[in-house]
Structure 1
């Protein structure tokens, strides 16, 4: 079931209060009434207690509070909005304009709860969705919005126009895929606002969708779509987009080393595709595999890699309170990694439950960003549990580490070293340049630069 199936109040609630506690109480009372919950005070008290221990504001004007209640379904969801914004005890005094409350039954599956939170964060971080909700002067039906999005856009139109012929870029991509005998076409869907490009892509080739908002697509309705990859919010050139897309498609086994693929990309500002690249994975990206056929360590889940790359990109762009921050994420093979780790500080993650330390939980993002300013690394298990922060890496490589390019310092050397003596991945963020770099087997797999727009300080958004 998708998150919209748990909406006990389909219509977005207009929050009357601009006080955080009262606004949360208002939203919770609405859910309790809709879900026929009588112990309303206990439900509200637990929600507020969670807020006291850790703010659920996750940026982009979005907050995801949680609580538990004796409800019939496993989960219940309600969405509230405040056009003026609610002070939410967030960094840089940011205001929450959309508040999504997730209520879980006492026996709810914790992993499923984290997954739903991740879906909600991805969906409501979309600027298109936020603008639709905040600017609407009439009540917004969230189920209708999700349905419209899956059909190809959230614009409310009386009827859809007739099918358009494929544009020159898509037409050329289909011809190129046929001539190069490519096994798939990878389309970066965030370059356009609507999904009608799928109707225009009249090709028998398999299709891989790369997007920031997976809710837009339902692969069950188009058998050509073999996978939808979660694109991280990393500002990237078209080359960077393609690197990330292929890396994540390989991690999900949607591609193999032997495949050829045609990539279709573009610029969201122009709302069109404008770039086609034909790629032989074995020739162009052999460094992804290094000494092994497997891209990921065996214990690392692809969705965890997607999440860590996404967080790394956010830290590279935002830093901490607007100031640059650099750190390392060490992902997977934690039993071996821990033999080369010493804590620089008291571990801030020690003593918390695994659910509270799950990196897939969007509520943990602000905590990660705060601790990114501490010297040392984050140690993360393959299924996303953050074991420690501020960890000093003391690798003892069993093989010689590749000479790194000039300008890369101790952080990158430590990342290369820990991947040389264990079967883990390391992802670094450079404090000075904002470059995100992936290491495996003692060598650089991929690096992504942080582009800056002509406006100076403003960072270019991910096209």
Structure 2
């Protein structure tokens, strides 16, 4: 998603007020051509402040991302302000850490609003981008950094195209052709962003798998689609199972497909592995038939995002400690009938948009509430209904490997009793998917590999 299309140089400013209310008003003042009425801007400001009282816009790393929907023709518009001394808001301490405010306005008709927010949030997680923002000396320098950060251009060292990488990609294309593969799956986490060579495979569908694959990378590699999967270890192709699963749910792959996978050790900068996978032989016996992949009403985007959250919990835990968690996605009304609240519902009373897992502001909330016993119950569209729920479905004719606990039994049972998907994060770092009572391991952190 090209964020730079919605950034105008005259809406990148140095804020003169430290008070959050006044600072947001300054930024809204840059939208006079889009919001000509002072009354409209005042209404948007009140909405932003009301939201701020409910959920902070501070993402961490010195960045706040307030956002609101308005009536306008453009789908999105951004105003960006620097505040070197931080902001103040109701005596809350975290606001004095804010150095940059990215104010997003979205049209009421914008369909990919949460995806746009997620794209922004991923950019702020890029250390090189944040380092450049911090080093910008004056406003002109800051504007240039912002433009390059979101345009897909890169001033970092030129991409390295080693002889061996070229040799391996050429051989991968030959192997894929000889094996009658329909698709080539490239794991982009092998390369740091600044060193990724261009990999094109004429005559094949090319799918990129990695964390935060950008539109620029899709264009760069002439790829057809991207799968958001995070590497859980330093082993080769550790994301393979998750990538195939998500590709099946999005109908990028079919069970009859043969896929040529190209990868290497994450962040090594060196391709060294080519693997041909028959999807039906490797996966159909475990996760069922193609029509059973996604329950009715469950979106592939929600499953992909939930998988990313589960993977992040497995990898980093919370406050340095390993934790377990369970997520039930889809058929929420039937799931709710077979559950019991262990705590008061922490999501009660919030707008659906604010408690949707596609909203990047939900990440920290989910991770914090994962410390509480019980399951998250999530609608098929990603809206979280509740957390801290005890699952009480009956486990009938369910066979699981030894050593698994009650969380896995409950997940298998609820996925069998309802038309839902269950994802379980073990304290050991394993991420497991359950569908119709069957178990499918996506990642095994402790083993260092997932295939």
Fold equivalence (TM over 0.5): yes
Identify the match of residue 140 of structure 1 among 115, 119, 143.
Answer: 143
State how far apart, in whole Å, the 1-side matches of 2:309 and 2:93 are. 17
Does structure 2 retain, via aligned residues, the 8 Å contact 1:9–1:78?
no
Q: Deviations over 1:185-226 (max 9, x none)?
A: 11122323259744x43431110112323433375798x633
Q: 1:71 to 1:293 in 2, by over 3 A?
A: closer
**Aligned residue in 1 for 2:343:** 345
Q: 1:235 to 1:97 in 2, by over 3 A?
A: farther
SS of 1:330 mapped into structure 2 = strand
**Aligned residue in 1 for 2:167:** 168
State how far apart, in whole Å, the 2-side matches of 1:347 and 1:276 are. 48
State how far apart, in whole Å, the 2-side matches of 1:274 and 1:264 are. 8
State how far apart, in whole Å, the 2-side matches of 1:205 and 1:296 are. 26
Matches for 1:60-459 after TM superposition, within 5 Å: 60-68=61-69, 71-81=72-82, 95-105=97-107, 108-109=108-109, 111-137=111-137, 138-141=141-144, 142-147=146-151, 149=152, 153-155=153-155, 167-192=166-191, 193=193, 197-198=197-198, 200-217=199-216, 225-232=223-230, 234-235=232-233, 237-290=235-288, 293-397=291-395, 399-406=396-403, 408-430=404-426, 432-450=427-445
* Per-residue deviation, 1:164: 8.3
SS of 1:217 mapped into structure 2 = helix
Q: 1:320 to 1:305 in 2, by over 3 A?
A: same
State how far apart, in whole Å, the 2-side matches of 1:424 and 1:101 are. 37
Q: 1:104 to 1:255 in 2, by over 3 A?
A: closer
Q: 1:220 to 1:169 in 2, by over 3 A?
A: closer
SS of 1:167 mapped into structure 2 = helix
Gaps of 5+ in 2: none
State how far apart, in whole Å, the 1-side matches of 2:95 and 2:44 are. 27
Does structure 1 retain, via aligned residues, the 8 Å contact 2:87–2:95?
no
* Per-residue deviation, 1:344: 1.4
State how far apart, in whole Å, the 1-side matches of 2:239 and 2:337 are. 35
* Per-residue deviation, 1:279: 1.2
Q: 1:71 to 1:452 in 2, by over 3 A?
A: farther
Q: 1:115 to 1:161 in 2, by over 3 A?
A: closer
State how far apart, in whole Å, the 2-side matches of 1:333 and 1:327 are. 19
Q: How many residues align?
A: 440
The alignment's C-alpha RMSD in Å is 3.5
Q: 1:93 to 1:31 in 2, by over 3 A?
A: closer
Q: Deviations over 1:75-108 (max 9, x none)?
A: 3212345678779999999944543211235xx0
Gaps of 5+ in 1: 454-463
**Aligned residue in 1 for 2:4:** 4
* Per-residue deviation, 1:269: 3.1
Greater mean deviation of Cα atoms: 94-103 or 374-383: 94-103
Does structure 2 retain, via aligned residues, the 8 Å contact 1:233–1:310?
no
Does structure 2 retain, via aligned residues, the 8 Å contact 1:259–1:280?
yes
* Per-residue deviation, 1:286: 2.7
**Aligned residue in 2 for 1:57:** 58
TM-score normalised per structure 2: 0.84
Does structure 1 retain, via aligned residues, the 8 Å contact 2:86–2:95?
no
State how far apart, in whole Å, the 1-side matches of 2:195 and 2:394 are. 50
* Per-residue deviation, 1:48: 2.4
* Per-residue deviation, 1:363: 1.1
State how far apart, in whole Å, the 1-side matches of 2:254 and 2:421 are. 19
State how far apart, in whole Å, the 2-side matches of 1:129 and 1:20 are. 24
SS of 1:282 mapped into structure 2 = helix
Q: 1:278 to 1:136 in 2, by over 3 A?
A: farther
**Aligned residue in 2 for 1:458:** none
Q: Deviations over 1:16-49 (max 9, x none)?
A: 6777666545544444578545244443333222
